[in-house]
Amino acid sequence: MALLALRPALPVSPLMEQIVWVLALSAALASVSRSVLDFRTRNWFGSVLLGIAVFSIWVGPDMIFPGYHGFWLFSNSVMGSVSSALPESSRHNVAVLALRTLRTAALVPIAEELFWRGWLMRWIVSHDFAKVPLGAWSASAFWTVAVLFASEHGPQWDVGLAAGALYNWWMLRTRSLGDLFLAHGVTNACLSALVIFGGRWEYWG
């Protein structure tokens, strides 16, 4: 969050920005979260399918109805608008694209799942969250996390809400961080492929 806030003020090249992101996320995960990282999956096939399903939900409205997220309900002064943060001059830079894909498909899913479903869903149940098992059911935790996850995605809040609810449901089913890492990673990997090979740069906000 600090990097997001500081990004407009940092006079660095797009390549250096991606390097900083990858190093910062890697360092944070290695130093703070290493003890709780668990990459074991209970249902890898289902996690892959869920990741693809969330990707389809994410891009479906704009594919079926071009300009869908340009509607005022999504693009406005509160939510912002759908646009790419990657300058056109960097869209054919292999190093920038590789690092952005690594960050998007591998590091961000781990960091977000640790926060949203590894910590926040449990913390809402009890502030002594370590005693709350992964995937413990609580309607307030489920929907609070889904709504906050949606709000994080600005003008794509509608598909963000659907994605958040599906990821929450998968945590309830699998009770496995590894499965959530995989599902979220597959979604973001598919989005990255669409961005790079389909030219849909707006999905890299």
62 within 8 A of 55, measured Cβ to Cβ: no
31 sits in which H/E element: helix 14-32
Question: So what's the pLDDT on residue 81?
Answer: 95
How far, in Å, CA of 118 to CA of 123, rounded? 9
Q: Which two tokens stand for residue 1?
A: 């969050």
Q: Which two tokens stand for residue 23?
A: 């190093």
Q: Looking at residue 205, what DSSP letter applies?
A: -
How far, in Å, CA of 177 to CA of 173, rounded? 11
Q: Which two tokens stand for residue 65?
A: 């109805």
How far, in Å, CA of 156 to CA of 145, rounded? 16
Using pLDDT thresholds of 50, 70 and 90, give the confidence band for residue 3.
low
Q: What is the pLDDT of residues 75-117, one digit of tens each?
A: 999 999 999 989 999 999 999 999 999 999 999 999 999 999 9
Using pLDDT thresholds of 50, 70 and 90, give the confidence band for residue 10.
low
pLDDT at 19 over 90: yes
Q: State the virtual CA torsion across 125, 128, 131, 133 in degrees, nearest 10.
A: 30
The pTM for the full model equals 0.94
How far apart, in Å, do the first and last CA atoms of the chain sit? 14
Comparing CA positions, the residue from 194, 145, 171, 190 lying closest to residue 47 is 171
Residue with tokens 């963000």: 160
108 within 8 A of 27, measured Cβ to Cβ: no
- Residue ranges of the domains in the chain? 2-6+13-203
195 within 8 A of 203, measured Cβ to Cβ: yes
Question: So what's the pLDDT on residue 104?
Answer: 97
How far, in Å, CA of 103 to CA of 110, rounded? 10
How far, in Å, CA of 85 to CA of 15, rounded? 13
